[in-house]
């Protein structure tokens, strides 16, 4: 191999690496798209099977129940995946599983906040190294990050801007699942109405044959799909969306209180003043929650809305 050939091979190596990287990225994107198409295909198949079974099979109450449920649930999930993404829909299951745990309160992480107050005392006395060692034990991400920025000597306005951006990102991250559930609460009744129309069409087709069993199954399918849509919308999706919004508000309240605590740390205020501020915020949050529950008891129709 000549010297010019060797130089040409070396010059082509970066292009080859970029080419291989693009190929790998394309394979990954195709794999993700394939999985998404598979889920959409399965849900579409369930809806089509539901409709075809109900339209072609002889009258049966069990078939009406199963096919109606497949139509409403499968159609709602399919529309949600097409409107958002498969990962967003799958993430809802994790959020629903988290409802088994009670909502976090500002007193739940008392040990972590005590570490923050200890770091505040160190920082107030000018002892930076002990404060940096203490903040590693703070479990709250925003509180730990804000304290680290203050100890690093970042200006107050930049610390505020950084934490405000993180709070805004957390708010958007919490709002999207609630919006998705609100949208699904509108999809379910729509597919219930679709099932009602399909059942009425089948019932009209069966009037000429005089088969009362087929007519009864078609009428049952029409009514059941409406019930499924209303139940899913008002007893599943809307309550879950309300609970997500409530927990999101509580979390943002905690984040804002932690931002205020970091600002007080930046001003080198006493740790007891920071603790009193957090206690006041926690008390106001409990009072708002109690007032909200009393309002729901007095006006139960508001919760249903």
- 85-102 average pLDDT score: 75
CA quadruple 119, 122, 127, 133: dihedral sign: negative
CA distance 54 to 214: 10
DSSP tag of 34: H
Tell me if residue 85 falls in helix, strand or coil: coil
pLDDT at 50 over 50: yes
Question: Percent of the chain having pLDDT more than 70?
Answer: 69
Give this prediction's pTM: 0.69
294: its two tokens: 């009393």
Q: Which two tokens stand for residue 145?
A: 């990050």
Q: From residue 108, how far is each of 104, 114, 140, 254 by CA, in Å?
A: 6, 11, 11, 11
The mean-pLDDT minimum among 49-53, 82-86, 169-173, 259-263 falls in 49-53
Q: Are 107 and 87 in contact (CB under 8 A)?
A: no
* 36/73: higher pLDDT: 73
**How high is the pLDDT of residue 53?**
57
Determine the Cα–Cα distance for residues 127 and 302; give it in Å rounded to an integer: 53
Cα–Cα distance between 36 and 57 in angstroms, integer? Answer: 31
What's the confidence (pLDDT) of residue 173? 83
Contacts of 215 (CB under 8 A, 6+ apart): 59, 203, 206, 207
Report the pLDDT value the prediction gives residue 21, as an integer from 0 to 100. Answer: 41
Query: 196 in helix, strand or coil?
Result: helix
Average pLDDT estimate for 32-43: 62
Per-residue model confidence as pLDDT tens digits over 131-164? 888 888 888 888 889 989 998 888 889 998 999 9
User: What are the tokens at 62?
Assistant: 């069990």
pLDDT of 235 reads 92
How far apart, in whole angstroms, are the C-alpha atoms of residue 123 and residue 103? 32
Q: With contact defined as beta carbons under 8 Å apart, do 228 and 69 qualify?
A: yes
- Cα–Cα distance measured from residue 98 to residue 166, given in angstroms and rounded to the nearest whole number: 22
Paired tokens of 114: 């005590």
Q: How far is CA 95 from CA 14, 92, 98, 233, 267, in A?
A: 44, 5, 5, 18, 38
| Helix or strand run (H / E) with residue 148 | helix 141-151
Residue with tokens 């927990």: 247
pLDDT above 60 (res 108): no
Q: What's the CA gap between 170 and 268, in Å, rounded?
A: 27
pLDDT on residue 251: 85
d(CA 161, CA 214): 66
């Amino acid at each position: 191999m000549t010297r010019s050939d060797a130089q040409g091979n070396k010059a082509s190596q970066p292009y080859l690496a970029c080419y291989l990287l693009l190929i790998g990225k394309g394979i990954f994107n195709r794999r993700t798209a394939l999985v998404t198409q598979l889920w959409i295909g399965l849900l579409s198949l369930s809806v089509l099977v539901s409709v075809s079974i109900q339209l072609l099979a002889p009258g049966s109450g069990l078939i009406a129940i199963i096919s109606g449920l497949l139509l409403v649930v499968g159609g709602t999930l399919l529309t949600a995946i097409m409107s958002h993404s498969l990962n967003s829909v799958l993430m809802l299951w994790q959020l629903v599983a988290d409802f088994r745990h009670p909502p976090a309160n500002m007193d739940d992480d008392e040990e972590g906040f005590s570490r923050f107050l200890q770091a505040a005392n160190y920082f107030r006395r000018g002892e930076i190294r002990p404060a940096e060692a203490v903040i590693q034990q703070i479990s709250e991400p925003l509180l730990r990050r804000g304290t680290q920025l203050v100890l690093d000597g970042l200006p107050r306005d930049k610390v505020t801007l950084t934490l405000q951006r993180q709070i805004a990102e957390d708010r958007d991250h919490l709002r999207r699942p609630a919006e998705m559930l609100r949208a699904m609460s509108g999809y379910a009744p729509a597919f219930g109405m679709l099932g009602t129309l399909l059942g009425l069409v089948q019932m009209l087709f069966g009037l000429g044959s005089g088969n009362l069993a087929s007519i009864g199954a078609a009428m049952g399918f029409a009514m059941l799909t409406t019930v499924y849509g209303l139940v899913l919308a008002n007893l599943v999706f809307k309550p879950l969306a309300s609970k997500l919004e409530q927990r999101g508000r509580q979390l943002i309240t905690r984040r804002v209180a932690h931002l205020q605590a970091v600002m007080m740390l930046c001003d080198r205020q006493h740790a007891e003043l920071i603790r009193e501020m957090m206690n006041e915020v926690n008390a106001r949050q409990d009072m708002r929650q109690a007032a909200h529950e009393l309002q729901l008891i007095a006006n139960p129709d508001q919760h249903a809305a």
